[in-house]
Amino acid sequence: MRIRSAWRAALAAGAALVMLSACAGAGGSADTSGGGKTLEIWHAYAGQKDKVEFIEYALDTFKKAHPDIKVKEVSAEQSSYKTKLQTAMASGNAPDVFYTLPGGYLKAFVDSGQVLRLDDELAKQGWRDSFLESSLPSVTFGGSTYAVPIDIDAALVWYNKALFDAKGWQVPTTWPEFLDLAEKIKSAGVVPVALGNKDSWPATFWFQYAEMRLHGSGVMSGFGAGDKNATFGPEAKDAAGVLQTLAQKGYLPKGANGMSDAEANILFLNGKAAMVLNGTWQIGMSAEAPAGFELGYFPFPTFAAGKGNQSDVLAGVAASFAVSEKAKDKEAALAFLRHITSPEVMTKYVQIRKTMVARKGATTPEAAGPLLAGVVQDVIGKADTLDPFYDTAMAPKTTETYYSTLQGLIDGSIPPAAASEAIENAAKAGK
């Protein structure tokens, strides 16, 4: 996905400038008092403090603005949410409004006729024009838009700057330098890379970035468009090898596949791990770090023989909200979509999570803070291409194969050649 002029302008301004549980993670769903209309809203923000704070703000302010609407809120952690939503959709019990990943995950629901087209509503009062142009393709299929994008995340390598300074470790720029650094860190008794892959998605960043550097960006866009020539290429074997190398050399925490992302982050924030490859949400996750911790970042290392543009960044829409075609009160559902993407709510999102949003003008330096503003200017603004997250672009069955294969790379049960073949075949099947 090429960065378009509107995206570049927004970046420049930013630089200058689903067991279901209640929202807090407890069991059950939350009913709030209200009038005659009832709106059931599902989201996957449970268990993540900053996201819970955001959705509570969005829901509370929506209820105040629409006291006639009774809201039934159902939340879940990300790992279980996707399965639960798919089950609800398959049984014909879709919620009125639901959180959804963009790309292939959303498209499966669109193809089965379960998602409301938003084109007519988006055309009113310039709503469509309020979104960054680059954020809409991942929620648009067959020329129609079916969800509103919320946040835009970019993956970078984050490091404990204070620890690096104390140990005299230098930020690497190339992959050999990264491996050399990882060996030094391991020798110092620190875990080089914090990776908790219990929920499967954290490992995807390593494979995708290596594939982008070695082969090039835009591969999943080709698969998604049905391009018969789309391929990860022979470089996918080496990309898979990157992840397995980290595991085999002991650069990952022991039992990484059984460790959650939150648990891995605790290692990182407490100086037990030196680096983590994560999205820009890492800024918000580091807000309550112990005294003395200082967050730093650097672009994913380059590969000298790589065919891809070495400045490309893994980035794209991370989450969106849609309305069920069977929603009883579509007017109320659309009102919630307008509310959650309003300037007030989106600016609050940036303030809380310190990551970018799809709403134009909301990712200001004042809301984002200097660290995110620096990322926008120093890394994203210099990228030729932003490559969307593979797993959000993949069809559900492809994603399952992708996740389980990367887990196999980490535990050593699948060699790189077999892994790359499995991922390639699943992407081509497109199911």
| Residue-level pLDDT at 36 | 63
Same domain? 356 vs 255:
no
In a domain, 97, yes or no: yes
| Residue-level pLDDT at 396 | 86
Are the CB atoms for 97 and 69 separated by under 8 Å? no
Same domain? 142 vs 19:
yes
What does the longest C-alpha to C-alpha distance in the chain come to? Answer: 64
Question: Structural domain tally of the chain?
Answer: 2
| Higher-confidence position of 173 and 21 | 173
* Band of residue 259 on the pLDDT scale cut at 50, 70, 90: very high
In a domain, 358, yes or no: yes
| Residue-level pLDDT at 27 | 33
d(CA 269, CA 273): 8
> Mean pLDDT across the stretch 269-298?
95
Query: Is the pLDDT at 65 greater than 70, yes or no?
Result: yes
Same domain? 161 vs 285:
yes
| Residue-level pLDDT at 68 | 95
Rg (C-alpha) for the chain, rounded Å, is: 21
Same domain? 30 vs 113:
yes
Query: Is the pLDDT at 333 greater than 70, yes or no?
Result: yes
Which of 404, 6, 7, 1 minimizes the C-alpha distance to 225? 1
Same domain? 329 vs 345:
yes
Query: Is the pLDDT at 363 greater than 60, yes or no?
Result: yes
State pLDDT tens for residues 5-43. 333 344 343 433 333 333 333 333 444 444 468 999 999
| Residue-level pLDDT at 225 | 80
Same domain? 117 vs 159:
no
| Residue-level pLDDT at 224 | 82
| Residue-level pLDDT at 85 | 95
* Average pLDDT of every residue of the chain: 90
d(CA 267, CA 383): 30
| Higher-confidence position of 17 and 167 | 167
> Mean pLDDT across the stretch 190-211?
97
Same domain? 211 vs 302:
yes
pLDDT > 90: percent of the chain: 77
Same domain? 296 vs 321:
no
Backbone φ and ψ of 340, nearest 5°: -70, -20
In a domain, 378, yes or no: no
Same domain? 406 vs 260:
yes
State pLDDT tens for residues 136-151. 988 999 999 999 999 9
In a domain, 302, yes or no: yes
CA distances, 76 to each of 41, 51, 264, 348, 403 (Å): 12, 12, 20, 22, 20
Write down the pTM of the prediction: 0.78
Query: Is the pLDDT at 174 greater than 80, yes or no?
Result: yes
Range of the domain at 217: 154-314+387-429
| Residue-level pLDDT at 26 | 32
Least confident range from 11-20, 109-118, 372-381: namely 11-20
Nearby residues of 394 by Cβ (< 8 Å), 6 or more positions away: 103, 104, 105, 220, 223, 402, 426, 427
| Higher-confidence position of 339 and 29 | 339
In a domain, 286, yes or no: yes
Are the CB atoms for 354 and 287 separated by under 8 Å? yes
In a domain, 382, yes or no: no
As a residue count, the chain comes to: 431
**The pair of three-digit structure tokens given for residue 148, joined into one six-digit string:** 């509103």
d(CA 365, CA 255): 39
State pLDDT tens for residues 71-106. 999 999 987 898 899 999 999 999 999 999 998 889
In a domain, 11, yes or no: yes
**In this structure, what CATH number is given to the domain that contains residue 337?**
3.40.190.10
Same domain? 116 vs 237:
no
Query: Is the pLDDT at 377 greater than 90, yes or no?
Result: no
DSSP secondary structure, 305-344, as one string: T--S-TT-EEEEEEEEEEEBTT-S-HHHHHHHHHHHTSHH
CA distances, 164 to each of 27, 54, 178, 285, 372 (Å): 41, 32, 13, 19, 20
| Residue-level pLDDT at 200 | 94
The type of residue at 147 is: A
Q: Could you say which DSSP state residue 379 is in?
A: I
> Mean pLDDT across the stretch 171-192?
98
Which of 39, 1, 84, 5 minimizes the C-alpha distance to 340? 39
Same domain? 49 vs 64:
yes
Same domain? 41 vs 182:
no
Which residues sit opposite 42 in a β-bridge?
74, 98
Are the CB atoms for 244 and 416 separated by under 8 Å? yes
| Higher-confidence position of 109 and 284 | 109
